[in-house]
């Protein structure tokens, strides 16, 4: 299968057959009004060839529908105005007409057949993930994304960064409210990026409207998709598959940079990984752990167990005064590391570093009604990892 | 035509020496198709208001960005239960209520074929409905994973998830029994001379719908039973870690789910196909092609299910097959619309309330069909799946489709059922407010979906604020205007101008040969159909 060639994304309708061109020409006068993206009446401005083709396919089918609408509803309007009892119209007696019925079966079939070609061509190219320049593994978690640059040993979590106070209306909402993250996915412009997607818990869907990419991330299975963005910039989207309590708060942000900048970014990330490895084995003070732990707790735990640790009765257990958070330390670490299947309690061992887990366990054991005074070090966590 | 002795309207026609009990026992033990039909309709009206109230709460939360009234978990309960109750509690029972009232009347039968089964299929509903509503009060609250119940999310909930499965099982049993009853009644109890191709279209649509129900409700039952055992008994049907596949659930669910949406629309087609000829005073155009169109829609509805799953990433061949099949289904759907318009053409049209609702149905359902066609194209669907565009699509086909056809049918047959005319002026007000508010609520959702707003979220980015505010205002108006509907129905049930046997001069089906309300055993001697 060959990779279809994409012209400049804004070049327009690459696949119109000439019949359809005529239709377009007829309706072109009206088109700009609906096609203006800044009124947000239409699909967002495409950033990839695929998104552009989707945009054009949608415009095409929309105009076909409008044309059929006019053809059908003009006679209906006439009948409703003229063929009224109140204006003295007598009812005719006819009740079928084979010729008419054949015509209005065959014409729609022909219209649909004319749609098949552009639609099929586009599906084929969307499915073609071959010859990619770069592969990134995307893993969905309740409720964040993990990006892993395969072969480069770069791996990080991408959390929503909209402050809770904005959501609760205690602070004015920022420009990118709900569409901002702490660490965006960074990709090079002009390169074909292949994503392989899976999930750690429930089904999520990775979606960036301007790319024309939406792909479910399914636990236990790998799916792939691709995109190629020419214009550097920041592109925003959201999780599109209901995935639990914070489904609406699971943004996707992609930063497209020039290939040179991308290489520099990669070096930077590798340096960070090396630095973190050097820090392993260090021991921490209570205050340090509590500070880190509070951040980790807010980002990962508070959605269910609540900021005040009381949980939601019946759905999510309280941590304040709980048996696990005040009992044996090893049991507490295990719960955080391994989760509790099949509940919403995830196995955080896969998502968080030893330091993060040590910090959050320490935090939970000393916050609220829990005054155990226990201090958990990263090495304790590392020891309990299987 | 042979009209029976029809002077006894109160229902004490003592042919089988029934000592029909009074009061509550009359309804609890009733085996009469008209009583049971009324029970279905009242039940569905109650559920319509209950699920409608949930929708009001949803629109209140979405009026502005930010979280105002509900925590996200509660919001998800509201959307899930709104969908589940509207589909299983409001639309489906209403249509079965129509079948109960109208099928025997329209085919010239004394009652349904299995009257006791009929009683049982109704009385399962309040039990199931109570269970479902009760889940709001169990620890953890009601189910919140969407009416589609996808695992693994469905694995994560509390006891409500198991109760809801039980409830849906009961609803399914009720539907299957109702469907069997309808099939047997139609096939065996038609008046002499009424061949299949002389049946009113409403009867045809219900015959086909009943076959769909019998075919797919057991499939749903299988899917949710597997969910139940995955949740409670350690099986791994849908758990990849144990060798299962969460996507398999979606396939099984939508194998039920797509025919299900046609179960909700085909009888509505039947209602509208009955009303348009009456008020155009002209026979239905293309009766035979209408029958074939309904039958082919029903058959095709079994091979399009995966159009709900284009973003799961199925193989190329799968995407193409389901795209072509889905496009194909719009052909018979289109034929129906063309036939309705041709029925109006050169008629002698009057615009009573049932006619207004039916005309709005034709126009607005067609818009829903168009958005369906847009969604059929895989690339466009991948962009729009799980956005407000889909929400707009299914409300155009389900609210302005099924629900407005149901309202049309209620206005049309209320005079027959109660013996009184409804208040025509109020009916028209109800129509106009409903139609306008509906469009204010749901038309902007197309734009929201195109611009990228996901569905099933309690809070949204600022660019979506304006259209959401508009939709909420429309939604409140739409909700409030249905109180008027309730008032009109109650007023008509309690009194009004006598309707006479046939208040609509263009109506020609058998029910209009009977008194209004019809005698206890409808047609005691079968009428002769020429
Ligand atoms: C021309 C006929 C129709 C076509 C081509 C069509 C096509 C589609 C497609 C492709 C979807 C999937 C959208 C998505 O999730 O991405 C869909 C969703 C849906 N359709 Fe239709 N449809 C048609 C008519 C109807 C009718 C008559 C009904 C019901 C009376 C209906 C009810 C629904 C519902 C409820 C959903 C959404 C289900 C959900 O995800 O919750 N559709 N339709
Ligand atoms: Cu999600
Ligand atoms: Cu479908």
Choose from A123, A163, A196 for mutation: most chain B CBs within 10 A.
A123
Contact B320 A43 (CB under 8 A): no
- Give the separation between CA A186 and CA A190, rounded to whole angstroms: 13
C-alpha distances out from residue A78 to A81, A167, A300, Å: 5, 52, 62
Is residue A167 situated within a structural domain?
no
**CB distance A231 to A124 below 8 Å:** no
Residue with CA nearest ligand 1 atom 37: B394
Nearest to A44 among B231, B337, B451 (CB): B451
Closest approach atom of ligand 1 to CA B261: 29
Q: Is the same domain home to A152 and A240? A: yes
Q: Would you state the pLDDT for residue B18?
A: 52
Mean pLDDT per 10-residue section of chain A, whose length is 386 residues: 38 38 40 44 91 94 93 92 87 85 91 92 93 94 92 89 88 91 94 95 95 95 95 95 94 95 92 79 84 88 86 84 88 89 81 87 89 86 83
Give ∠ CA A336-A340-A343 in degrees, rounded to 5: 125
CA distance A264 to chain B (A): 32
Is the C-beta atom of B128 inside 6 A of ligand 1?
A: no
Q: Residue B318 CB: number of other CB atoms within 10 A? A: 15
Reading chain B (530 residues) residue by residue, the pLDDT tens digits are 333 333 334 444 444 445 567 788 888 888 899 999 999 999 999 999 999 999 999 999 999 999 999 999 999 999 999 999 999 999 999 999 999 999 999 999 999 999 999 999 999 999 999 999 999 999 888 999 999 999 999 998 889 999 999 999 999 999 999 999 999 999 999 999 999 999 999 999 999 999 999 999 999 999 999 999 999 999 999 999 889 999 999 999 999 999 999 999 999 999 999 999 999 999 999 999 999 999 999 999 999 999 999 999 999 999 999 999 999 999 999 999 999 999 999 989 999 999 999 999 999 999 999 999 999 999 999 999 999 999 999 999 999 999 999 999 999 999 999 999 999 999 999 999 999 999 999 999 999 999 999 999 999 999 999 999 999 999 999 999 999 999 999 999 998 899 889 999 989 899 999 988 999 888 888 888 87
The pLDDT value given to residue A375: 86
Question: Choosing among B272, B379, B396, which should be mutated to test the A contact, i.e. which has the most A CBs within 10 A?
Answer: B379
For A119, the domain range is 15-87+96-126
Q: Is A248 in the same domain as A322?
A: no
Cα B522 to middle of ligand 3, angstroms: 38
User: Do the Cβ atoms of B379 and A122 come within 8 Å?
Assistant: yes
Structure tokens at B508: 């020609």
d(Cα B250, Cα B150) in Å, to the nearest integer?
7
How far is residue B285's CA from residue B469's CA, in Å, rounded to a whole number? 42
Question: What b/e readout covers B450-468, taking b as 16+ CB neighbours within 10 angstroms?
Answer: bbbbbbbbbbbbebbbebb
Question: Is B463 in Cβ contact with A221 (below 8 Å)?
Answer: no
- Cβ–ligand 1 distance for B329 under 6 Å, the answer yes
Same domain, A290 and A369: yes
Assess if residue A265 is contained within a domain. Answer: no
CB pairs under 8 A between A and B: 288
Write the DSSP symbol of residue B63.
T
**Given this model, what pLDDT does residue A28 score?**
42
Residue of B157, B103, B100 lying closest to B510 (CA atoms):
B103
Q: Does the beta-carbon distance from B366 to A69 stay under 8 Å? A: yes
Distance set, CA A83 to CA A75, A78, B341 (Å): 11, 7, 12
A218 and A244 together in one domain: yes
* Mode of pairing for the β-strands spanning A185-188 and A251-257: parallel
Is the CB of B330 within 6 Å of ligand 1? yes
Q: Are B360 and B340 in contact (CB under 8 A)?
A: no
Residues A153 and A115 in one domain: no
How far, in Å, are A284, A290, A368, B241 from residue A376 at the CA level?
9, 10, 17, 31
Token digits of residue B468? 């959401």
Answer yes or no: are the C-beta atoms of B310 and B322 closer than 8 Å: yes
Q: Does residue A158 share a domain with residue A65?
A: no
Residues in chain B closer than 8 A to A65 (CB atoms): 370, 373-374
Res B7: pLDDT: 39
| Contact yes or no for A80 and B359 at CB 8 A | yes
Q: State pLDDT tens for residues B204-236.
A: 999 999 999 999 999 999 999 999 999 999 999
Q: Is B465 on the interface with A (CB under 8 A)?
A: no
Helix axes B353-376, B246-280, angle to 10 degrees: 140
Distance separating alpha carbons of residues B160 and B135, to the nearest angstrom: 5
Angle at B68 between CA B62 and CA B74, to 5 degrees: 80
Enumerate domains of chain B plus CATH numbers. Answer: 1-193+500-530 (1.20.210.10)
In terms of domains, do A147 and A218 share one?
yes
Asked if the structure places residue A215 within a domain, the reply is: yes
Q: Identify whether residues A218 and A316 lie together within a single domain.
A: no
Domain total for chain A? Answer: 3
Cα–Cα distance list, A290 to A173, A212, B28, B271 (Å): 29, 43, 64, 67
pTM, two decimals, is 0.87
Residue A303 sits in the same domain as residue A320: yes
Identify whether B273 is a catalytic site residue. Answer: yes
Interface of A with B in 354-373 (CB under 8 A): none
Query: Residue A26 domain-assigned?
Result: yes
Each residue of A192-226: b (16+ CB within 10 Å) or e?
bbbbbbbbbbbbbbbbbbbbbbbbbbbbbbebbbb
CB atoms within 10 A of CB A353: 16
Substitution site in B146, B307, B449 for ligand 1 pocket (most atoms within 8 Å of beta carbon): B307
* Ligand 1 near B124 CB (within 6 A): no
- Decide if B324 touches A, using CB distance below 8 A: yes
- Closest CB to A242 among B66, B286, B456: B456
Q: Pinpoint the alpha helices (H) of B233-352.
A: 246-280, 287-300, 316-344
Are A52 and A118 in a shared domain? yes
A116 and A150 within one domain: no
Q: Does A343 map to a domain?
A: yes
Q: What's the CA gap between B89 and B87, in Å, rounded? A: 6
CA of B503 to the centre of ligand 2 (A): 54
Which of B144, B376, B382 to mutate to test binding with chain A, by most A CBs within 10 Å of its CB?
B382
CATH number for the domain harbouring residue A231 = 2.60.40.420
Cβ-in-10-Å burial (0-12, 13-18, 19+) of B19 comes to: exposed
Residue A268 domain flag: no
Residue A60's CATH number: 1.10.287
- Regarding whether A118 and A56 lie in a shared domain, the answer is yes
H or E, element range at B161: helix B159-188
Here the ipTM equals: 0.90
The confidence score (pLDDT) of residue A32 equals 39
B164 is catalytic: no
In a domain, A61, yes or no: yes
Residue of A nearest to B284 (CA): A95
């Amino acid at each position: 299968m060959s990779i279809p060639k994409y012209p400049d994304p804004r070049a327009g309708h690459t696949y119109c057959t000439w019949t359809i061109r005529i239709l377009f020409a007829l309706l072109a006068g009206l088109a700009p009004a609906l096609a203006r993206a800044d009124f947000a009446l239409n699909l967002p401005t495409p950033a990839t060839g695929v998104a552009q083709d989707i945009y054009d396919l949608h415009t095409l089918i929309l105009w076909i529908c409008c044309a059929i609408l006019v053809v059908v509803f003009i006679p209906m309007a006439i009948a409703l105005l003229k063929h009224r009892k109140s204006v003295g119209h007598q009812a005719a007696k006819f009740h079928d007409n084979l010729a008419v019925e054949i015509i209005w079966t065959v014409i729609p079939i022909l219209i649909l057949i004319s749609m098949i070609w552009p639609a099929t061509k586009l599906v084929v190219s969307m499915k073609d993930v071959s010859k990619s320049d770069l592969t990134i593994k995307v893993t969905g978690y309740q409720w964040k994304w993990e990006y892993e640059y395969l072969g480069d040993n770069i791996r990080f979590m991408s959390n929503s960064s909209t402050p809770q106070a904005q959501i609760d209306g205690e602070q004015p909402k920022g420009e990118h409210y709900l569409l901002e993250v702490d660490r965006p996915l960074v990709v090079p412009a002009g390169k074909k990026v292949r994503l392989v997607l899976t999930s750690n818990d429930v089904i999520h869907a990775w979606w960036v409207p301007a790319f024309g990419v939406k792909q479910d991330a399914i636990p236990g299975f790998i799916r792939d998709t691709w995109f190629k963005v020419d214009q550097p910039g920041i592109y925003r989207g959201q999780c599109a598959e209901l995935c639990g309590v914070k489904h609406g708060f699971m943004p996707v942000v992609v930063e497209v940079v020039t290939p040179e900048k991308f290489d520099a970014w990669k070096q930077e990330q590798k340096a960070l990984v090396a630095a973190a490895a050097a820090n392993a084995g260090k021991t921490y003070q209570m205050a340090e752990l509590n500070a880190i732990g509070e951040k980790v707790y807010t980002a990962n735990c508070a959605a269910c167990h609540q900021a005040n640790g009381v949980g939601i009765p019946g759905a999510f257990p309280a941590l304040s005064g709980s048996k696990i958070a005040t009992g044996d330390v090893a049991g507490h670490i295990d719960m955080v590391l391994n989760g509790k299947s099949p509940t919403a309690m995830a196995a955080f061992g896969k998502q968080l570093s030893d330091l993060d887990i040590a910090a959050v366990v320490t935090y939970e054991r000393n916050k609220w009604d829990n005054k155990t005074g226990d201090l958990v070090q990263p090495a304790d966590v590392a020891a309990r990892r299987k | 035509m042979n009209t029976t002795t029809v002077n006894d309207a109160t229902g004490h026609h003592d042919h089988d020496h029934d000592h029909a009990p009074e009061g509550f026992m009359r309804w609890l033990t009733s085996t009469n198709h008209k009583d049971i039909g009324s029970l279905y309709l009242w039940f569905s009206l109650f559920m319509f208001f209950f699920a409608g109230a949930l929708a009001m709460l949803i629109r209140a939360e979405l009026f502005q960005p930010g979280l105002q009234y509900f925590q996200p978990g509660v919001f998800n309960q509201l959307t899930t239960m709104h969908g589940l109750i509207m589909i299983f509690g409001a639309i489906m029972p209403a249509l079965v209520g129509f079948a109960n009232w109208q099928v025997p009347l329209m085919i010239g039968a004394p009652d349904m074929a299995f009257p006791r089964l009929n009683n049982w299929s109704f009385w399962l509903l309040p039990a199931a409905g109570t269970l479902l509503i009760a889940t709001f009060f169990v620890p953890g609250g009601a189910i919140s994973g969407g009416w589609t119940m996808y695992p693994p999310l469905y694995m994560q909930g509390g006891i409500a998830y198991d109760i809801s499965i039980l409830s849906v099982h009961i609803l399914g049993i009720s539907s299957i029994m109702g469907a069997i009853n309808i099939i047997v009644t139609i096939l065996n109890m038609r008046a002499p001379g009424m061949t299949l191709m002389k049946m009113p279209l409403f009867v045809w649509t219900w015959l086909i719908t009943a076959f769909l129900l019998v075919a797919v409700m057991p499939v749903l039952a299988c899917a949710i039973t597997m969910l139940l055992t995955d949740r409670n008994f350690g099986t791994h049907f849908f758990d990849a870690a144990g060798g299962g596949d969460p996507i398999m659930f979606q396939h099984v669910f939508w194998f039920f789910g797509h025919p299900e949406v046609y179960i909700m629309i085909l009888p509505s087609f039947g209602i509208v196909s009955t009303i348009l000829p009456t008020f155009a005073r002209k026979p239905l155009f293309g009766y035979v092609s209408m029958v074939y169109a309904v039958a082919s829609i029903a058959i095709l509805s079994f091979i399009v299910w995966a159009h709900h799953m284009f973003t799961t990433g199925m193989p190329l061949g799968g995407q193409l097959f389901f795209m072509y099949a889905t496009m194909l289904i719009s052909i018979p759907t289109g034929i129906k619309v063309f036939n309705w318009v041709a029925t109006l053409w050169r008629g002698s049209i009057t615009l009573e309330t049932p006619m207004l609702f039916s005309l709005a149905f034709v126009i607005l359902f067609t818009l829903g069909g168009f958005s369906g066609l847009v969604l059929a194209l895989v690339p466009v669907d991948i962009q729009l799946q799980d956005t407000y565009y889909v929400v707009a699509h299914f409300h155009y086909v389900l609210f302005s489709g099924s629900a407005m056809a149901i309202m049309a049918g209620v206005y049309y047959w209320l005079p027959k059922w109660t013996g009184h005319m409804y208040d025509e002026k109020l009916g028209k007000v109800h129509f106009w407010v409903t139609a306008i508010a509906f469009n204010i609520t749901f038309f902007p959702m197309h734009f929201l979906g195109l611009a990228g707003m996901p569905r099933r979220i309690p809070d949204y980015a600022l660019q979506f604020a304006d259209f959401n505010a508009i939709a909420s205002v429309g939604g409140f108006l739409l909700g409030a205007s249905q109180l008027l509907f309730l008032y009109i129905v109650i007023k008509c049930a309690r009194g009004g101008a006598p309707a006479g046997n046939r208040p609509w001069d263009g109506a020609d089906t058998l029910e209009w040969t009977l008194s209004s309300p019809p005698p206890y055993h409808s047609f005691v001697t079968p009428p002769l159909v020429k």
